């Protein structure tokens, strides 16, 4: 049976199934489900746990032998199978199907993997899992969902789920769920009572980002070309991978392009900023950039970033760092030769 991740807690409270399979591209989300399942399993007497990392060449005899052998401590056991690729081969498919059909009551089978292709989800072993156990598929958290995801996880740790704090975390972690969770956990340590000092935290975030990629982009949006050059050179001196600069700039400019399109439909800047969940502190920066840059100019910047990305992959011949500096300076409002 397939259930949504948000239904797992309630499902576990009602009844512990014999088999669980959690999978998806966001490993952190998969791990959260696995932790929840194993926590409830321990409460239900499953004390011993055995873990196997499985690929297409794995010998399933070891698991079959373990299942058929009685526990030394007469305890219920968890067998955890981590599929490293999701491709377990013909023998693996046959073995897993047989295990699922004959699984004893004192064994809890927990299987996990990363993202699966549709062909794998149509395999016999997957269909048997769907029939015999619980399947939890995790989808990637989209940028529009990230702030909500952060606030929910803050609430689960008894932190004030302040939208400004969540927006700040989302901006500074660029959608990286692991980094977002680490920020949330640091908040819990800093504010154990859950009451976050908003001004203190936002100032701290601001200081951290001054000489980061975020600081460089914000300086560009503010029109501070001198600061842009200073931070850019600092990032280059610190050997910041150019792919990080490309991806961060692309994400920011792509968002500006989308907002610029919405402006053409006579929506107000304020409503557009709210719809895109722009952090309050950044609203003046984004507004300034939308007034300063036309849709056409922003599109040209995206095209130039595409060429830079191809150059990183050896498919074009631009000087990557020089071109990146030109892009960010142009974003700051200075004509740097990207109008052609």
pLDDT tens for the chain, residues 1 to 340: 888 888 898 899 888 898 999 999 888 899 999 999 999 999 988 888 899 988 878 888 888 888 888 766 667 889 999 988 777 888 888 888 888 888 888 889 999 998 888 888 888 888 888 888 999 999 888 777 888 899 989 998 999 888 888 888 887 776 678 888 988 998 999 899 989 888 888 877 766 666 688 888 888 998 889 989 988 988 888 888 888 889 889 989 999 999 999 988 888 888 898 888 787 778 898 999 999 999 999 999 999 999 999 999 889 888 999 999 999 999 998 765 554 4
**How much is the pLDDT for 192?**
92
SS3 255: helix
Dihedral angle sign, alpha carbons of residues 152, 154, 158, 159: negative
Q: d(Cα 233, Cα 98) in Å, to the nearest integer?
A: 60
Q: d(Cα 75, Cα 107) in Å, to the nearest integer?
A: 9
Residues 6 or more apart whose CB falls under 8 angstroms from that of 12 comprise: 36, 37, 40
Domains of the chain (ranges; CATH) run 2-138 (3.40.50.300), 143-209 (1.10.8.60), 213-331 (1.20.272.10)
**How much is the pLDDT for 290?**
92
Degrees (nearest 5) of the Cα angle 161, 166, 168? 145
**How much is the pLDDT for 110?**
94
**How much is the pLDDT for 36?**
92
**How much is the pLDDT for 324?**
93
Question: Is residue 300 within 8 Å of 340, Cβ to Cβ?
Answer: no
- pTM, two decimal places: 0.62
Structure tokens at 23: 């999978």
């Amino acid at each position: 049976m397939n259930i949504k991740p948000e239904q797992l807690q309630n499902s576990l409270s009602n009844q512990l199934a014999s088999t669980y399979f959690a999978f998806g591209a966001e490993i952190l989300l998969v791990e959260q489900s696995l932790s929840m399942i194993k926590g409830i399993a321990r409460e239900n007497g499953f004390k011993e746990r055995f873990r196997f990392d499985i690929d297409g060449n794995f010998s399933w005899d070891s698991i079959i032998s373990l299942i058929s052998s009685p526990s030394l401590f007469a305890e219920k056991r968890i067998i955890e199978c981590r599929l490293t690729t999701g491709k377990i081969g013909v023998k693996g498919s046959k073995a897993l199907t047989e295990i699922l059909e004959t699984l004893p009551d004192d064994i809890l089978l927990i299987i996990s993997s990363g993202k699966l292709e549709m062909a794998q989800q149509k395999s016999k072993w997957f269909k048997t899992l769907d029939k015999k156990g619980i399947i939890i598929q995790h989808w990637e958290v989209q940028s529009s969902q990230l702030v909500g995801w952060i606030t929910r996880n803050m609430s689960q740790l008894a932190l004030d789920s302040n939208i400004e704090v969540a927006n700040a975390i989302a901006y500074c972690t660029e959608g990286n769920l692991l980094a977002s969770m680490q920020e949330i956990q640091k908040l819990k340590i800093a504010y154990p009572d859950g009451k976050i000092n908003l001004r203190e935290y936002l100032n701290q975030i601001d200081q951290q980002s001054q000489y980061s990629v975020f600081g460089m982009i914000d300086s560009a949006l503010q029109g501070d070309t001198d600061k842009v050059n200073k931070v850019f050179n600092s990032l280059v001196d610190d050997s910041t991978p150019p792919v990080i600069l490309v991806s961060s700039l692309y994400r920011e400019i792509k968002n500006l392009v989308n907002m610029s399109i919405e402006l053409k439909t006579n929506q107000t800047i304020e409503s557009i900023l709210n719809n895109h969940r722009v952090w309050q502190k950044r609203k003046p920066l984004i507004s300034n950039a939308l007034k300063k840059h036309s849709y056409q100019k922003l599109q040209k910047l995206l095209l130039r970033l595409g060429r830079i990305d191809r150059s990183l992959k050896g498919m074009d011949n631009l000087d990557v760092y020089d071109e990146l500096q030109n892009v960010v300076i142009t974003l700051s409002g200075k004509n740097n030769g990207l109008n052609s």
